[in-house]
Amino acid sequence: MNLFALQTVVLSSSAIATMLVAVGLSCRYAWWKPPVNWSMPRVLMYHMVSPHRKKARFNKLRVLPERFEEQLAWLQENGFQFVFASQLCDGTKLPGKTVCLTFDDGYADNLLIADPIMEKYGAVGTLYLVEDRSGGWSSKKKSHHEDDELASEPKLTDLQVEQMLQSGRWELGGHTVTHANLPNLDGDEAAREITDSRNRLTEQFGQELKTFAYPFGLLGDREVRLAREAGYSAAVTTEPRIYDAAHDDLMMIPRIKVSGTEGMAAFAIRIRTGQRGLLK
């Protein structure tokens, strides 16, 4: 093979490699997808706002504090206004660009780290609080799972929850008594998990809970019916999509996942389209 032919092969290989990388990035981020109608509320799903733990399995649920601040600053700069989840179902006329911050489970960093940042940017949030945070909390989808990393994460105390509510920046939503895998329970057990948590939290904190989050995002027709019978007006899922109030069931509101392992470019794409890439 002469030198010219060799150079041609090298250039062709390089071009193919570049093209494959471009295609891979395009599929991973789907940056080319048009934005979903900006008048549709963006309901964001958070868990923790905290530093990552070395070699931890669930760092994707830990949004770095500096990243969280970047996200709120970006939302503010782009004209979004913050609302509670209850405002999605109580007849409130929503702003033209609406964002709803939701936090699942009840981790202590929601107060210690996230709340001061939210105060700085005038943000409000809905806390989907597990009622029993004293040790009965479950982080396992299946009984054979051995990873208790989330179960050992510091949880909010009752006094801390009261402090959050008194600030006016937070409202409560239900998330069962023990963070139960509802479809795995019989009807009576599932009903108790949903109803008892709502009743106890309402009695303890003096705030009526209007919305519910299905633990692990696991639900079926029965769980939707039980949440409605418990008195909830709306419920959120883990389906990664932008909420379409004109067509979506209020008891199955999708949410945009906020990952602790992604940067601002991926966050902006999620806000535009509801997903980071083609499928998630």
The 10s digit of each residue's pLDDT in 57-88 is 899 999 999 999 999 999 999 999 999 999 99
Dihedral sign, Cα of residue 249, residue 101, residue 169, residue 182: positive
**Is residue 145 one of the residues assigned to a domain?**
yes
Q: What is the pLDDT of residue 144?
A: 47
Tell me, yes or no, whether 138 and 116 share the same domain: yes
**Is residue 278 one of the residues assigned to a domain?**
no
Tell me, yes or no, whether 138 and 16 share the same domain: no
Is the model's pLDDT at 4 over the cut of 60? no
Mean pLDDT of 101-116: 98
pLDDT classification of 109: cutoffs 50, 70, 90 = very high
Mean pLDDT of 17-46: 70
90: CATH: 3.20.20.370
- pLDDT tens string 193-224: 999 999 999 999 999 999 999 999 999 999 99
Tell me, yes or no, whether 21 and 155 share the same domain: no
- pLDDT tens string 230-269: 999 999 999 999 999 999 999 999 999 999 999 999 999 9
C-beta atoms surrounding 12 within 10 Å = 10
Domain hosting 238: range is 37-273
- pLDDT tens string 145-162: 555 788 889 999 999 999
Average confidence score pLDDT of the chain: 89
Q: Nearest-CA neighbor of 179 among 227, 218, 229?
A: 218
**Is residue 235 one of the residues assigned to a domain?**
yes
**Is residue 98 one of the residues assigned to a domain?**
yes
Is the model's pLDDT at 15 over the cut of 90? no
What's this model's pTM, rounded to 2 decimal places? 0.86
Residues 6+ apart with CB under 8 A from 104: 45, 46, 47, 128, 175, 213
Contact 111, 154 (CB under 8 A): no
